[in-house]
Structure 1
């Protein structure tokens, strides 16, 4: 029923958008001409075919709304473009106002975004209040069932309500009591099937290992004639540092166990922001950069920039730029000594640059070259990578995305020297958290926190 209402609403938005566009183009309310009405009718028919094909009317329960809005925007632009091509094919394009077409695209996209965002938000609020719930029965071990129950209760706006847990491999002693986090426990398969049918349970989640194929087959066979969604949710938490996204690989569904959680489509705003922000910083701070360069050159003999090989995305090496803050010196091959408090190698101007993080400004050149991002895990010297990759769990997974000038770890106090494994572990933990929960909004928050807190730090020396 909701899907039908959504389709009717989208057609209404297209019609309303066309009328608003005509009023904006003419400066007053006017009816659509013959060509506009023909194009509108064709677009409505194409909307009925195109929107479902792009998954707009699927259930968006528990899914990000921005994905829905992007799909709706793309779908309408595709529909209108197809309509314009039709007018060319019947040689009526000269009768169409380009202004009206532009207004129609903008008005309809705006109306679709507002209406869908409003509906999505309203449904989330209703679900938070206990309405529009989908009851869920979980079949799996107690630890993983507990995890799924906590996930459902942590996201009440998704509208999933656990009502039953069944562990086919557990003994009576393995699951104490008759409830798990307040959710009823069934130990008999027959009673489970009866409970699912009596309570009209709509979701059956199989939280089982793939090795239990006979059990999975039995459950699917048992409920093949019931209108219940049977979903297989394998427990792969211990195998991956990131979310277990299901991707299409040669037409076959695959679960990412160790892959970048930030896809190319999602990362597009980040890429645009990086290049624009880096260019603006370099241009705006050009006088300051020139003054620092002169100061570094006068402080001690040697080059203005310190360049060092670091790992970038997917382990690709690049040379990172910094203002030189130490006197030129040589170290044994394969050895890197981190700067310490009172380090005699640091020049006077270098100490100031390091304390204020001004020595990091040339890294915006790396950002402009596409080797780094404004926000991301900080890259370390290759020698440190060789040391910590075997000591800190998940250390090398930080390089699944571009390294950054600032990051979630830095704004949470993990800056400067990592003289203990505990410090590096804390930094890596925050970096992995950032990667798991990345959004463009989180990037903007980190940039704002960096500017608010300043670039200086007690651990920077």
Structure 2
């Protein structure tokens, strides 16, 4: 049978009648049990990203140190230790770490299969060393390196990489048992399928999934899974708000695949959250190709949605933001200072304007802008959109809004971590409440951090929003960006943004 693939945009638009309205928002929509559970989930000190970084550092450091020790013992007294040796001590371990990482050797699941990983890592180490010796041969540099050093480093490298895998496997298992390293999950559906799944997960040794509770539309007396000791936190339509309040990683839907209509309802409701969503395949009789599943031990799941820009992608994007925003803030500081002086000279009031907008996972953030309106006419909640010839906007304000100079202070928001350089533009709080009624799946924009510029803006969808069509196009472009993100896409958008600002005609 073929693989299952689900298009998020198709889920968001497949029949408005099926989708229950998202809750109005706020902690008061949750039960007391759900509020207490959300507050109990404190931030974690150890994450899979940190684990992967430590493992990479351990492999690189131990291989380099091992090579240096052998070099000192066997070569230093008998041969000239030149730059070539130090280059090899850096490049060979680095190439090994990159290759092991490309084959998933530093993923969280790798430490659940240590025997497989030991063999795979040994093969990759051999491949790197083989390529290194071939390069030496073709460059006629073989005589420049000690053969004893090369052979000893190669053989002992197997031992150190194996020791690292065994050590990290034990460390991970210990952290899982202590609850330090875990995936926090919520079970959606507490019927017989949920009971079977919970029992299967409990039977798995070193299971890293912690079920924080159950959401089901039935009362506790009619939810079999609740009798296993897991709290019933509320109804399914309250789960979106719980996902915004609680630090969770995973939603597991435990319904039979035959309940197609109900599954579509749930997915259309839940996909707006920035979490992984899995369908439990434990009790399903249908069987798909092995690559369709992810496993926890022997427990199968069907992967439906993955959290976008997660793990190392998030680290890369954050690093990109900090570096580019810092350089941009320095380079554009003369323009920013001149604009600040012009704003202050033209009208009284503060230079900066702070506005509440929705950020990642629907959290309210405060973004900085240069004030473009008369202070006494400022609209903090953006209840009325700025239109052409708006009397509230100053003369300087029209210029800085035209070329988005008023947005430059948001580089500070980027450095603080509230915004990204590229992403869906953050909308004012009042606009969100309006537009979520217009566009189904609107809140899926908040699965990533909002940005200074975005895919929608470089395609002309910026400025005044005076029709349903405009907001629909914005959301479509935002969702495309989220599903297709890459560093190169961010760079392309940043390079295109100044050109689009010059040609813009719909920013007032």
Aligning the two structures, in what range does the TM-score lie when normalised by the shorter sequence? 0.5 to 0.7
Matches within 5 A, 1:246-285: 260-285=307-332
The residue aligned with 1:17 is 132
Q: Tell me: CA distance 1:302–1:331, structure 2 relative to 1, closer, same or farther (3 Å).
A: closer
Indicate the structure with greater helix content: 2
Q: What is the CA distance between 1:269 and its match in structure 2? A: 1.4
- Structure 2, unmatched stretches of 5+, are 1-115, 169-254, 279-292
- The alignment partner of 1:310 has SS state of strand
Q: What is the CA distance between 1:392 and its match in structure 2? A: 1.0
- Structure 1, unmatched stretches of 5+, are 51-77, 83-208, 214-233
Contact 1:15-1:40 at 8 Å conserved across structures: no
Q: Tell me: CA distance 1:436–1:9, structure 2 relative to 1, closer, same or farther (3 Å).
A: closer
Q: What is the CA distance between 1:299 and its match in structure 2? A: 1.3
Counterpart Cα distance in 2 of 1:342 and 1:247? 56
Matches within 5 A, 1:334-413: 336-413=383-460
- Note if 1:39 corresponds to 2:39: no
Q: What is the CA distance between 1:259 and its match in structure 2? A: 6.1
Which structure would you say has the larger RCO, counting Cα contacts within 8 Å and 6 or more residues apart?
2
Q: Tell me: CA distance 1:292–1:255, structure 2 relative to 1, closer, same or farther (3 Å).
A: farther
Contact 1:376-1:404 at 8 Å conserved across structures: yes
Counterpart Cα distance in 1 of 2:123 and 2:303? 37
Counterpart Cα distance in 2 of 1:45 and 1:280? 44
Q: 1:50-89 deviations in whole A, cap 9, x for unaligned?
A: 9xxxxxxxxxxxxxxxxxxxxxxxxxxx79x99xxxxxxx
- The alignment partner of 1:343 has SS state of coil
The residue aligned with 1:426 is 473
Contact 1:247-1:255 at 8 Å conserved across structures: yes
The residue aligned with 2:13 is none
The residue aligned with 1:29 is 143
The equivalent position to 1:296 in structure 2, one of 340, 343, 347, is 343
The equivalent position to 1:313 in structure 2, one of 349, 360, 363, is 360
Larger Rg: 1
Number of aligned residue pairs? 283
Normalized against structure 1, the TM-score is what?
Answer: 0.53
Normalized against structure 2, the TM-score is what?
Answer: 0.48
Q: Tell me: CA distance 1:253–1:407, structure 2 relative to 1, closer, same or farther (3 Å).
A: farther
Contact 1:22-1:32 at 8 Å conserved across structures: no
The residue aligned with 2:229 is none
Superposition RMSD on alpha carbons, in Å?
4.0
Q: Tell me: CA distance 1:287–1:257, structure 2 relative to 1, closer, same or farther (3 Å).
A: same
- Note if 1:443 corresponds to 2:490: yes
The residue aligned with 1:140 is none
